[in-house]
Structure 1
Amino acid sequence: MENLCDKTAIVGIGRTEISRNCGRTELKMATEAILDAVEDAGLNIEDIDGMINYTMDTAEQIEIVRSLGIPNLSFFSKTPYGGGGSCGTIAHAAAAVHAGLANYVVCVRSIRDASAPVKIGDFDTSKSSYNSDVYWGMYLPYGLITPVSWIGMFTQRYMHEYGIQDGAFFPIAQVARENANRNPHALFYNRPLTYEEYMDSPMNVTPLRRHDCCVNVDGAVAIIVTTADRAQHLKQRPAYISGVSQGMSTNGEQMTSFYRPDITGYPEIEEYGKKIFKMAGVTPQDIDVAQFYDAFSSEIPMQLEALGFVSKGEGVAYCEGGHRIRPDGELPINTSGGLMSEGYVHGMNLIAEGVRQIRGTSTTQIKDAELSLVTGGPGVPTGGLILKRR
């Protein structure tokens, strides 16, 4: 496989507001975010000739093309597995533009999780793979029907295995909230989180409290990818894609891989991590800032371990007190507030924040950030990427 290091770049990012009641359709928000990204890149809508979104999107590509008047798409695809597909959209786009299948590919996710009609278990089984995957029959009939219940199983075992005490994930939630307090776009802007509030919040599913969980929102994010050569002539500083890969390991399920020999880690993340660091020619210690997929707070220390930042079982200790993961620490994380405090746009907002760090435009900007890591959702087939400033 040819090394794609720095041969493609993100050149445009766009978004809608993050809210709890957007008052419009996912299609409308998708078009708004794409137009914003096109303007950000200094392009015209006619330049867009590739598109990637999620299999879970209700805003169909053919309707987006019609609504925006895009003349033609020469490349289009979708990524599955929810937030696990976030960085996968960038992988698809990078491959497409490098291969010459398209010139400017837009990746978009439009989600209305806060104001959409309530569905059993927060998903519509008629539009998902849940109704066709045999293993769901071992969980759903017995009440294990929500993401927090699935991740709660991994977290409970992780805490038992490594002697982690109740409340140990608070610094992760606290740092995310501190960063969100500086981000006017975040849902939790200017709303601090105290230890008392965290500990007094109800258990969603033991051992995960309300403030250990992401917040469902309405919103859309769009990201434009092109070749490195084209990127040099556009409006914004390019965020070069130095490493990007997906991972799907054996004996896995969609968020319920409970029958593996060890459920205190993420083999998919270990595998894609090896690839992206090798592709970029760097090590975890070279990363200046990271946007970890934080649908739940326990996912961050487990990702730190899977990606080689720390050894197995040391992730929670690394985050203790929050000092190492704050903006002035060894590895600043989730600088926009992340999915727990900015809002859950299925990971695409993390990619946009990774780009802002490269551009130097984040509300919690890390000085001289040259390498920015972004990860996709754990517990499912997933992916990650490393962005570079040069």
Structure 2
Amino acid sequence: MNRERRSLRGRVAVAGIGETTYHRHGRSPDAEFKLALQAILAACRDAGINPREIDGFASYSDDRSDASRLAAALGLPRLRSATMQWGGGGGGCCAAVANGAAAIATGQADCVVVFRALAQGQHGRFGQVSGIDTISGEKAYLMPYGVLSPPQRFAMRVRRFMHEHGVRQEALRSIALASYHHAQANPRAVMHGKPLDAQIYDDSRWITEPFHLYDCCMENDGAAAVVLVSAERAKDLLQKPAYLLGAACGSGYRTGAIPHASPAYGSASFGTVAPDLYAMAGVGPSDVGVVQSYENFTGGVVMALAEHGFFKPKEANDFLTLDNLIAPSGRLPLNTSGGNLAECYMHGFELVLEAVRQVRGTSTSQAARSDVALVIGGPMVTPVSNLLLGSEAVL
């Protein structure tokens, strides 16, 4: 079969984006399902479509807002597509968009909403280990030895990468500083008005080495959504379309091996996924003007950017400086809304919305080059996913 016919490139576009107010974890006044509806309705208003035109939903990380219940609450005439990305937690944020786009490209739906909603006051904190009576799988090999939390698990992978390639702490610090720098221009950001500098970062407590407090993502309540339609339909709606250039999902050989026994241990899991993305999109790293990379922890961003071809691992210290990572004129503006560290932590879905803003030219920290915007989902988990969005000029 002709590979061109199997591509999503230029066939589907993001026509609308919407989000709720972002809260610190446990602070939302609304239930999770209500937050999802608020974000979906906001995305429909942004696109200029009637919510009853929606006929599909896509999400990830076991989102609790069931598609059939959403359809009933919105009064949809019919539901044609409902997909949930399997596994990988926040690594599925881009895969969910790909799944929704695939439904449109194959005629299974005409208007798909992709979303993520979180109300940790209602359902409990993600970063807190408690109430576990039995363990299995990876946890059975880790928790008896005191490896209880995500920072502990991922710190070991990052430390291996730093050791093998001579990566210094300053590289991680630059990523945190860039996210906080951009958040100061973004009134939506939870950390807006709370700047971070090198001294504050250095003086902050260790969570687990090499992660300081500011290397770790926040935990938040809220919801975010995007409306997907065909490329042809998007041209007739309110906003400048952000076209899907490519998307990929997966991981390499034995990435899921336990306990912590994958052959490529010091890796963000994009060794096979990034080439697939670029192949579908028909672009390369030099074409990308701005990146939104999931920061569960800053060290994963270092590995993910290297695996996407922006620099060789041994060049990380020279490339990852604050000047290189900030908009408008940095070499590679990164997390221009504040990212998981400083805007909010919608399991990375807020990164997709910011990539759309960059393509539209409406970001609060607009990059000088934004016709091609990359989103990287969930480094160091499996499966991971990524997404390239672009303007009409790129097609």
User: Structures share a fold, TM > 0.5?
Assistant: yes
**Structure 1-normalised TM-score?**
0.93
Q: In the superposition, relative to structure 1, how do residues 122 and 342 fare at CA in structure 2: closer, same or farther (>3 Å)?
A: farther
**Structure 2-normalised TM-score?**
0.92
Summarize deviations over 1:280-323 as a string: whole Å, max 9, x none: 11110110111011111111211111111111332233103x12
Verify the 8 A CA contact 1:180 1:186 in the aligned structure 2.
Answer: yes
Verify the 8 A CA contact 2:52 2:74 in the aligned structure 1.
Answer: no
Instruction: Report matched runs for 1:40-79 at 5 Å.
Output: 40-79=46-85
| Corresponding residue for residue 90 of structure 1 | 97
| Corresponding residue for residue 237 of structure 1 | 240
| Corresponding residue for residue 313 of structure 2 | 312
Instruction: Report matched runs for 1:101-180 at 5 Å.
Output: 101-113=108-120, 116-118=123-125, 121-122=128-129, 134-180=137-183
Give the Cα–Cα distance (whole angstroms) in 1 for the partners of residues 45 and 361 of structure 2: 18
Give the Cα–Cα distance (whole angstroms) in 2 for the partners of residues 344 and 122 of structure 1: 18
Instruction: Report matched runs for 1:240-319 at 5 Å.
Output: 240-253=243-256, 258-266=260-268, 268-319=269-320
Q: SS of 2:97's equivalent? A: helix
Deviation of 1:106 after TM superposition, in Å, equals: 0.4
Deviation of 1:56 after TM superposition, in Å, equals: 2.3
Verify the 8 A CA contact 2:222 2:346 in the aligned structure 1.
Answer: yes
Which aligned segments of 4 or more residues in structure 1 are displaced greater than 4 angstroms? Answer: 122-126
Q: SS of 1:139's equivalent? A: helix
Residue 99 in 1 paired to residue 106 in 2? yes
Summarize deviations over 1:226-248 as a string: whole Å, max 9, x none: 11111111111110001111123
Look up the equivalent residue of 2:288 and give its one-letter code: I
Look up the equivalent residue of 1:352 and give its one-letter code: L
Deviation of 1:330 after TM superposition, in Å, equals: 1.3
- Between the two proteins, the alignment pairs up a number of residues equal to 383
Residue 323 in 1 paired to residue 327 in 2? no
Summarize deviations over 1:2-52 as a string: whole Å, max 9, x none: 222111111111100111211111101000000001111111111000001
Give the Cα–Cα distance (whole angstroms) in 2 for the partners of residues 186 and 317 of structure 1: 29
Give the Cα–Cα distance (whole angstroms) in 2 for the partners of residues 11 and 369 of structure 1: 17
Q: SS of 1:222's equivalent? A: strand
Residue 375 in 1 paired to residue 376 in 2? yes
Residue 193 in 1 paired to residue 196 in 2? yes
Q: In the superposition, relative to structure 1, how do residues 49 and 115 fare at CA in structure 2: closer, same or farther (>3 Å)?
A: closer
Verify the 8 A CA contact 1:257 1:379 in the aligned structure 2.
Answer: no
Q: In the superposition, relative to structure 1, how do residues 9 and 35 fare at CA in structure 2: closer, same or farther (>3 Å)?
A: same
Residue 363 in 1 paired to residue 369 in 2? no
Deviation of 1:262 after TM superposition, in Å, equals: 3.2
Q: In the superposition, relative to structure 1, how do residues 125 and 105 fare at CA in structure 2: closer, same or farther (>3 Å)?
A: farther
Q: In the superposition, relative to structure 1, how do residues 241 and 258 fare at CA in structure 2: closer, same or farther (>3 Å)?
A: same
Verify the 8 A CA contact 1:216 1:343 in the aligned structure 2.
Answer: yes
Q: SS of 1:291's equivalent? A: strand
**Structure 1 unmatched runs, 5+:** none
Deviation of 1:88 after TM superposition, in Å, equals: 0.5
Give the Cα–Cα distance (whole angstroms) in 1 for the partners of residues 82 and 154 of structure 2: 32
Give the Cα–Cα distance (whole angstroms) in 1 for the partners of residues 74 and 129 of structure 2: 30
Q: In the superposition, relative to structure 1, how do residues 311 and 355 fare at CA in structure 2: closer, same or farther (>3 Å)?
A: same
Q: SS of 1:234's equivalent? A: coil
Q: In the superposition, relative to structure 1, how do residues 31 and 60 fare at CA in structure 2: closer, same or farther (>3 Å)?
A: same
Give the Cα–Cα distance (whole angstroms) in 2 for the partners of residues 10 and 84 of structure 1: 20
Deviation of 1:116 after TM superposition, in Å, equals: 4.6
RMSD between aligned residues = 2.0
Deviation of 1:210 after TM superposition, in Å, equals: 0.5
Residue 4 in 1 paired to residue 39 in 2? no
Q: In the superposition, relative to structure 1, how do residues 278 and 179 fare at CA in structure 2: closer, same or farther (>3 Å)?
A: same
Q: Percent identity?
A: 34
Q: SS of 1:221's equivalent? A: strand
Give the Cα–Cα distance (whole angstroms) in 2 for the partners of residues 125 and 248 of structure 1: 28
Residue 36 in 1 paired to residue 45 in 2? no
Summarize deviations over 1:245-282 as a string: whole Å, max 9, x none: 1123231239x77212332223x412221111111111
Summarize deviations over 1:193-220 as a string: whole Å, max 9, x none: 1212111111111210110011111110
Verify the 8 A CA contact 2:288 2:373 in the aligned structure 1.
Answer: yes
Look up the equivalent residue of 1:66 and give its one-letter code: A
Verify the 8 A CA contact 2:47 2:239 in the aligned structure 1.
Answer: yes
Verify the 8 A CA contact 2:251 2:271 in the aligned structure 1.
Answer: no
Instruction: Report matched runs for 1:332-351 at 5 Å.
Output: 332-351=333-352
Give the Cα–Cα distance (whole angstroms) in 2 for the partners of residues 220 and 143 of structure 1: 33
Deviation of 1:123 after TM superposition, in Å, equals: 7.8
Verify the 8 A CA contact 2:254 2:263 in the aligned structure 1.
Answer: no
Give the Cα–Cα distance (whole angstroms) in 2 for the partners of residues 124 and 34 of structure 1: 33
Deviation of 1:163 after TM superposition, in Å, equals: 2.8
Verify the 8 A CA contact 2:93 2:377 in the aligned structure 1.
Answer: yes
Deviation of 1:121 after TM superposition, in Å, equals: 3.6
Deviation of 1:96 after TM superposition, in Å, equals: 0.5
Look up the equivalent residue of 1:86 and give its one-letter code: C
Q: SS of 2:117's equivalent? A: strand
Summarize deviations over 1:114-165 as a string: whole Å, max 9, x none: 6754578458769xxx955x23210122221211111111111122222334
